[in-house]
Structure 1
């Protein structure tokens, strides 16, 4: 019996020993990460099985075959946005061939262990948006090939050490929204000659901006030092930075005159706002003191009191003044009521049941634009506060565009739609040319300079696939944007028709041409526009079409302008074109229809968002647009909608965006026939099969869950251009 028990225990020990040794050393190191995470994160590790030989099939793990090593080794960990709460185990440093560590948008806490940097093959560390704390991990610069370090939106504190100059290969250093303090070290930045992006915003840095930051010859995009406590003058050496660099020095304590050499000449006023002691161009604030001497009252000039007769006279004048003010208030009230009645004629002709001829005889904008000009043409608007040139005036951005305010207000106007972002009108000018006019709101008068800077930047964007902003108007109670009117609705209607059903009007060649045009426009916004814009709200309804079915991207920059004027930026707008369809409802249904449009629009916009964009407080990135374009491409390929109403959600022609992306990926994984995924209206174009397949692959690359894996928009555009040649 004893012999039997001994044999039994030996066998159990043997099987346990073999089970443990069956997993590679990389797999054992990864299991330490699983054990360091609270139980709530088990869903992310559901297939992490200690009985496997290698961890290469585990979720979020990528492996590669290394020359001279018989077994595959772990080269990537991608567990971003999994709501993982725990600490970073030091055993991760034993992953000798780990190249990319991507754990951002989780809830990891504690310090970053120094042993992590024993993984000397690392080139990218993405730990942003966690709860990590402690000092800047100086040992990170012992990694010889480190290129990307993003520790933003954590609770790191202390100083940036001089050792950062040892990160010779570093391309991106992003430390925004932490608790770093002290002065930025000097004499280190000239060593980082590969640095492309530097973001130190929203910390507690103080002191002067180091002169040698101007030696970052490879820098591109935005040098972001905003929302700190930097003082002293802006070093003129920043003018040596490449001309493509934008400055963001807002909300510091900088003083003196803004230099005007080199790169400074390319900066707008927005880059320097919030520094009350800065002066010079482009703030339009003179640096010459205009001190006014105060005059003290001499004894002989002091008041000796008022006589009784003068007091009675002043009292009588007060009574008369109050009466006049009352009359003015009554007049303004009834005048406003008259104007509202005048505006109603537009709404009645727009939404009512009149015949087509009556609808064409629209009102003018004049009765609806209180505070712009009266019927005699006298300017009634005055802007108080932080104003300047352009207040109360119609300003044309495009030199080739000519329009007068009187012409705009008295031209025929048709209401295209109304939402939380204001009313959009189609205005037909005297020469017969239609324009789109958007009313932004009545607030934001104290942010005049910021508004003008943003509008001017948008107005500089000139591309054949982007809606042009032609002019703007600013006044205390009116903000208008005048842009091109695109005549043929939007891509959502063209793809699915006005009844929401798939449309056969778009052939494959047309869809491919539209896809290329959208990608070209976005690539221009990302790479070549003055601000290197992020659109942030790409969707079918923001792609407008002309009569030749050429695509135009609308609404870029609109959310920023809306936030300046104080309106709600959460609902997508329609700058530069019409609403998705010309609503034909009775007058009593107008408010209900407008409310439904706002809800649908908000829901549809969210469906196009990248996974990381759904985390509250995230700053838009260009990779958001890449993901949204991928969803648009999948809609063009499959004919399925991501903006369907709940009543049609069960239809085969509509799925939620996460299901659409997953459905297409599953179809390719299971090698399903292409005919089961592509829009049925395209099945007759047999010759397009290879092209359709190629666009599917581009769309799947764009909709990768990890933003670092997604291609740049420029690459997406180039890949699409090759298709069909």
Structure 2
């Protein structure tokens, strides 16, 4: 019996030893990562499907990056990336044991709880992206103990507390985003002067109060936009902000700031949108004079006049004044009658002109547009357009308008009457209204986009946006020349680009063959788009994000020089109450994309993170869209195209995935490029280099994608 027990004991020890040995065969980094798997309550079934505790290393697990470290025997974990995977759980403190972890990317999930203080024991961390989760608690004090920390984005969470003064110790920090959290209180002086390397600061959407600290002007490395909007900052603007780099844009909107806007340094480069919704702010560039906001002798004089009128009214109106009022009334009635008769005869004698520029259905000819006879100038509604197509006479939906034609560009000279009398032709119609080609009296054609009739209560906001767009000047961006505002009409007047858009050049318009674009022409177009987009991101007054870049809003002139159109348009459309998602890409261009080729599938040029509803556009969206456009130039295929092996026309292939699969399978370059280019690009490394730029732009993780400035610089090297 004892002998049997002895044997059983030996077998049990063997099994225990075997099991322990099986577990500990996984590296220490792998064991720390398993704690994260355990901390995820839902959403991890597929995400962690290949995380096996029997593996010897976690370096082959999904979402994990490793590197060979000089003083380590085996590869070590340097990156964790699970962005947008709908993971619900908490961040375990064991991740702090990953000594060589450099990048932690867990944004756009449902992580909750506080950020563990022990996480920052991972001393190699330089980038932490936890934005758009449900994290709470306060900012850990050990954050700035990391010697290499450069990028921190904790935006769109529920983190609270006062602005941490310990951030002065984050001297290597380049990016700090705490937007849309629950921070509160006054920002103390002495923090910003210590953050000499900070390039990006976003504190918007919190509950900060008090004055903006005077030493904020010490952030000499800032670039892009300084975002302090949607807080409770009060008091005067610190003049030191004028000492910030001239390329920095401000967003101080929706606060309680007061006083006159300084006119020194960087302040002089700001548009009105930087200061909107601060009722007590005055001075340029706001349309509110500081003199108007203070009482002066003029107001006293007004009271005195009112007092005299009141006293005179008690004595009754003198007979001479009664006669004068009667004469003025008679003259006014006569003038109104003359105007009515004049308009009647002008409308009766309008002959064959049309409010839409198109003849009756079956007429066969395009008729010119007589703006004045349409009283308000451009067709007022979709029903009017349909009536001219179908037979019945439609009435204009516009009743004149108390509006002005405002020239943004000093070189543009055109009076409203001239614009309304000019011949105009309908280029296309979309959910946003109608776009016209208008030939002015001097023979210069312009494109006129009608935005709609809404938004009459948002005049200042509309004008501020238009003026910001008008300040954009780049040879690869469509130039806005003027705008017209009236309560019942809003128009944008821009350059007319004569050679259609990139979509029709690559794929042809209805009934026409596509242009045979040579490789040198395609490379020229790609470089031009990249330069224009980099300018909008880095150098334009508002640091614009396009948000909807695609071939249909890339216009071409007769030399195939590209022009980016429709930037900033979504904001204007939303002000007027229309739906920007229906844009046909018409501003400054010719026929819309959906009239040129079969309709593109929804979101086919948009980044993966842009397809989730409610997400705000970012520059990295544009980078992805540009990458798709570049792939389209290289392959001649749209962003989604019918599978050649499919028996139905409803099966589509994603261009980005198709290209990446082709490179993984090491297919010949001739199988991937546009057949029109095969003979021309034999033996050229330029095309391969362009493919690599496009694939970098279309990385799934937005943080990995390069900036457009870098993309443009890399493209300029190709073929030079």
TM-score surpassing 0.5? Answer: yes
2:286 aligned partner: 283
Task: Confirm whether residue 64 of structure 1 aligns to residue 73 of structure 2.
Answer: no
After superposition, give the CA deviation of every residue in 1:579-609 in whole Å (9 maximum; x if it has no partner).
236959xxxxxxxxxxx99xx46x44x2211
Equivalence for 1:642: 639
Q: Which moved more, 1:33-42 or 1:185-194?
A: 33-42
Alignment partners' CA distance in 1, 2:634 and 2:352 = 43
CA contact (8 A) 2:376 2:401 kept: no
Relative to 1, partners in 2 of residues 1:232 and 1:130: Cα closer, same or farther, differing over 3 Å? same
Partner of 1:241: 244
Asked whether the equivalents of residues 351 and 583 of structure 1 are also in contact (C-alpha less than 8 Å), the reply is no
Q: Deviations 1:357-381 (Å, cap 9, x if unpaired)?
A: x22x4223334452799xxxxx953
5+ long unaligned stretches in structure 2: 317-332, 380-398
Contact 2:357 / 2:369 at 8 angstroms: preserved in 1? no
2:46 paired residue among 40, 43, 46: 43
- Tell me how many residue pairs correspond in the alignment: 671
Match of 2:626 among 624, 629, 632: 629
After TM superposition, the structure 1 stretch with the greater mean CA deviation from structure 2, 7-16 or 398-407, is 7-16
2:445 corresponds in structure 1 to 434
Contact 1:193 1:216 in 2 (8 A): yes
Are the counterparts in 1 of residues 247 and 539 from structure 2 also a CA contact under 8 Å? Answer: no
Q: 1:346, 1:414 within 8 Å by CA — same for their partners in 2?
A: no
2:714 aligned residue (708, 711, 719): 719
Q: Which moved more, 1:92-101 or 1:691-700?
A: 691-700
- Is the 8 Å Cα contact of residues 170 and 195 (structure 2) preserved in structure 1? yes
Contact in 1 for aligned 2:696/2:705 (Cα 8 Å) = yes
- Give the equivalent residue in structure 2 for 1:409: 420
- Aligned Cα RMSD in Å? 3.5
CA distance in 1, matches of 2:130, 2:595: 48
C-alpha spacing 1:141/1:688, structure 2 compared with 1 (3 Å): same
- The verdict on how the C-alpha distance between 1:282 and 1:415 changes in structure 2, with shifts beyond 3 A counting, is same
TM-score of the aligned structures, taking structure 2 as reference length: 0.86
Corresponding residue of 1:551? 562
Q: State the distance in 2 between where 1:29 and 1:500 align.
A: 62
CA contact (8 A) 1:508 1:682 kept: yes
The equivalent residue for 1:365 is: 371
Offset of residue 302 of structure 1: 12
**Superposed, which structure 2 residues align to 1:334-373 within 5 Å?**
345-347=354-356, 349=358, 352-355=361-364, 358-359=365-366, 361-368=367-374, 370=376
CA distance in 2, matches of 1:438, 1:12: 79
Summarize the Cα distance change of 1:274–1:677 in structure 2 as closer, same or farther, 3 Å threshold: same
Change (3 A) 1:63 1:500: farther
Match of 2:153 in 1: 150
From the superposition, tell whether residues 500 and 609 of structure 1 become closer, same or farther in structure 2 (CA, over 3 Å): farther
Q: Distance in 1 between matches of 2:504 and 2:79?
A: 42
Shift of 1:565: 2.2
Asked if residue 576 in structure 1 is aligned to residue 588 in structure 2, the reply is yes
Instruction: Give the Cα separation in 1 of the matches to 2:645 and 2:108.
Output: 30
Structure 1 equivalent of residue 116 of structure 2: 113
Residue by residue, what CA displacement relative to the aligned partner does 1:30-55 show, whole Å, maximum 9, x if unpaired?
11111111232221112222222211
How far 1:467 moved relative to its partner? 1.3
8 Å Cα contact 2:84/2:109 also seen in 1 = yes
The 1:33/1:77 distance shift into structure 2, 3 A limit, reads same
1:611 corresponds to which residue? 608
TM-score by length of 1: 0.85
Alignment of 1:460 with 2:471, yes or no, is: yes
* 2:326 alignment partner in structure 1: none
Instruction: Classify 1:609/1:583 alpha carbon distance in 2 versus 1 (closer, same or farther; 3 Å).
Output: closer
Aligned pairs for 1:473-484 (under 5 A) are 473-484=484-495
Question: Which residue pairs with 1:381 in the alignment?
Answer: 401
Alignment match, 1:317: none
Q: 2 CA distance for matches of 1:684 and 1:215?
A: 57
SS at match of 2:580: coil
Contact 1:372 1:381 in 2 (8 A): no
Is the contact between residue 642 and residue 655 of structure 1 (CA under 8 Å) also seen in structure 2?
no
Matched residue SS, 1:436: strand
Map of 2:388 onto structure 1: none
Contact 1:502 1:639 in 2 (8 A): no
Structure 2 matches for 1:689-704, cutoff 5 A? 689-704=684-699
Task: Identify the match of residue 513 of structure 1 among 507, 524, 541.
Answer: 524
Cα 1:241–1:82 change in 2 (3 A) is same
Name the counterpart of 1:528: 539
Name the CA shift for 1:203/1:65 in 2 (closer, same or farther; >3 Å). same
State how far apart, in whole Å, the 1-side matches of 2:677 and 2:512 are.
Answer: 15
Q: Distance in 1 between matches of 2:148 and 2:652?
A: 41
Distance 1:50 1:230, change over 3 A: same
Where structure 1 has 5 or more consecutive residues not aligned to the other structure, the ranges are: 307-323, 374-378, 383-391, 585-595
Distance 1:608 1:501, change over 3 A: farther
Aligned to 1:592: none
CA distance in structure 2 between the partners assigned to 1:343 and 1:190 by the alignment: 70
Deviation at 1:457, TM superposition (A): 2.2
Pairwise CA distance, 1:171: 0.9
